[in-house]
Amino acid sequence: MLAVRKLDVAYGQSQVIRGLDMDVGHNEIVAVLGRNGMGKTTLFKALMGILPARGGQVAIDSIDVTAMAPHRRVENGIAYVPQGRMIFPSLTVRENIETGLETAREKKIPDDIYGLFPVLFEMRNRKGGNLSGGQQQQLAIARALVSEPRVLLLDEPTEGIQPSIIKDIARVLKEIRKMRELTIIVSEQVLHFALDVADRIAVIERGAIVYEGARGEVDAAHVSRYLAV
């Protein structure tokens, strides 16, 4: 589904992603785990086309997207929920969701979105900037989902969010996958959330994947050692 080959990404002189390889299958949920500063956000930005790849390749369903602008990648089925949510603060909740409709066949928010996130329906006429962190996170996921993606990238969705809403988000992710075919890549610093939602876990350290394992067979103590500060 998503294939990353020998990906290099750098900010000026400092290379952050170094020859990273990763494969994610159809309908799979993979959690990318790693401490702060290990390159999760940089990897996601490169997958999205926000940062250029200095070397290597990114392909979706064997379509090479390495040179494509972000909006072209959205057309090809990637959707992005960035770290920090990046809600449009002075657009209403409804307008925020509508920005994701560009690649949708119908330019209308499907009902099931509000079914997944009832709070967004209640708040639909409020400004995005007035929502709480947890609500903004749900809004960012909704905005990504309406583009009808095949691959969803979620960058640290639980960062700075109350435990009750984290549970909600985990439930929603599993629900979405029951409703439609969707591959999800989610970055995390917290192992138990990853073990709750993901089929497979990949640990990133200094810009490369250093450990991988399916949920049933990961050695939690071993992975924790990568995440300890």
Partner 1 sequence: MFEGYTASEIGAIFAMQGFAGLSLFCVFLLMALGLAIIFGQMQVINMAHGEFLTIGAYSTYLMSVVAEKHAPWLMDYYFFLAIALGFVVAFAIGWLVEFSLIRFLYKRPLDTLLATWGLSLIMQQGFRSMFGAREVSPTLPEWLLGSWQLSDTIEIPINGLLVVGVTAVLTLAVFFLLFRSRWGLKVRATTQNRVMAEAAGINTARVDRNTFALGCGIAGVAGAVFTTIASTGPTSGSLYIVDTFLVVVFGGAASLFGTIASAFSIAQAQSILEFFINGSMAKVITLAIVIGILMLRPEGLFASRVRK
Ligand X SMILES: Nc1ncnc2c1ncn2[C@@H]1O[C@H](COP(=O)(O)OP(=O)(O)O)[C@@H](O)[C@H]1O
Enumerate binding residues for partner 1 (CB under 8 A).
48-50, 69-71, 74-75, 79-80, 82, 86, 88-91, 95, 98-103, 107, 143-144, 147
- Minimum CB distance to Mg ion smaller for 37 or for 129: 37
Residue 71 binding partner per list partner 1, Mg ion, ligand X, none, with a CB distance cut-off of 5 to 8 Å that depends on partner kind:
partner 1
Contacted entry of Mg ion, ligand X, partner 1, none for residue 42, CB cut-off 5 to 8 Å set by kind: ligand X
What count of other Cβ atoms lies within 10 Å of the Cβ of residue 59?
15
Q: Which does 10 bind (CB under 5 to 8 A by kind): ligand X, Mg ion, partner 1, none?
A: none
Distances (CA, A) of 165 to 35, 77, 136, 171, 195: 22, 27, 11, 10, 17
Q: Which stretch binds ligand X (CB under 6 A): 36-44, 52-60, 68-76, 194-202?
A: 36-44
11 near ligand X, judged by CB under 6 A: yes
Which residue blocks in the chain are alpha helix, DSSP H? 40-48, 70-75, 93-98, 111-116, 118-122, 133-145, 163-179, 191-197, 220-227
Nearer to ligand X, 35 or 124 (CB): 35
Burial of 13 (0-12, 13-18, 19+ CB in 10 A): exposed
Assess 13 for contact with ligand X (CB under 6 A): no
CB 47, CB 78: distance < 8 Å: yes
Nearest distance in Å: CB 92, partner 1: 10
Length of the chain: 229
Q: Does 157 bind ligand X (CB under 6 A)?
A: no
CB of 95 to partner 1, least distance (A): 6
Q: Is 229 in the site for ligand X (CB under 6 A)?
A: no
Q: Is there binding between residue 100 and ligand X (CB under 6 A)?
A: no
* Residue of 1, 20, 41, 139 interacting with Mg ion (CB under 5 A): 41
Is residue 36 a contact point for ligand X (CB under 6 A)? Answer: yes
Contact 125, 92 (CB under 8 A): yes
83 binds Mg ion, rule: CB under 5 A: yes
Residue 181 within binding range of ligand X, rule CB under 6 A: no
> Residue 20 or 109: which CB sits closer to ligand X?
20
| Three-state DSSP state, 115 | helix
CA angle (63 as vertex; 200, 44 as ends), nearest 5? 45
State the angle between helix axes of 133-145 and 163-179 in degrees (0 to 180), rounded to the nearest 10.
10
Residues linked to residue 195 through DSSP beta bridges, in sequence order: none
Give residues with Cβ within 8 angstroms of 66, minimum separation 6: 53, 56, 57, 58, 59
Which residues contact Mg ion (rule: CB under 5 A)? 40-41, 83
